[in-house]
Amino acid sequence: MIKWENLLLVAAVAIGASVFITAAFSLGMRWLTNARHIVETSKGSNAATASDSNNPLEVFYRIGSYAMFAVCFAGVIYGIYLIIPFFHLDK
């Protein structure tokens, strides 16, 4: 007999985790692109300040993107940990 509520729970968690990981990666890519765009526009607009890359918005985008990539990495590693039964064997 199939326990439908357990099947729905597993499906909901799998879909939710997939959406979360995908959204975190997409946000990280978007923020990294924004940071690169800020650097490129500052180089193109004024050559004297091209070496000065202390724009706080660029730093925010870059740190945020790396944090989103770390969240994705942690989620993938946790998923691998759950899938591989070697990690759950009693020793």
Evaluate whether 31 touches 65 at the Cβ level (below 8 Å): yes
| Paired tokens of 42 | 């500052």
- The structural domain count of the chain equals 1
Give residue 87's pLDDT.
84
Give residue 49's pLDDT.
52
Task: Read off the pLDDT of residues 16-51 as tens digits, 9 standing for 90 and up.
Answer: 999 999 999 999 999 999 999 998 888 777 655 545
Give residue 63's pLDDT.
96
Three state DSSP letters for the chain: CCCHHHHHHHHHHHHHHHHHHHHHHHHHHHHHHHHHHHHHHHHHHCCCCCCCCCCHHHHHHHHHHHHHHHHHHHHHHHHHHHHCHHHHCCC
Domain interval for residue 9: 4-88
Q: What is the Cα Rg of the chain in Å?
A: 20
Give residue 46's pLDDT.
65
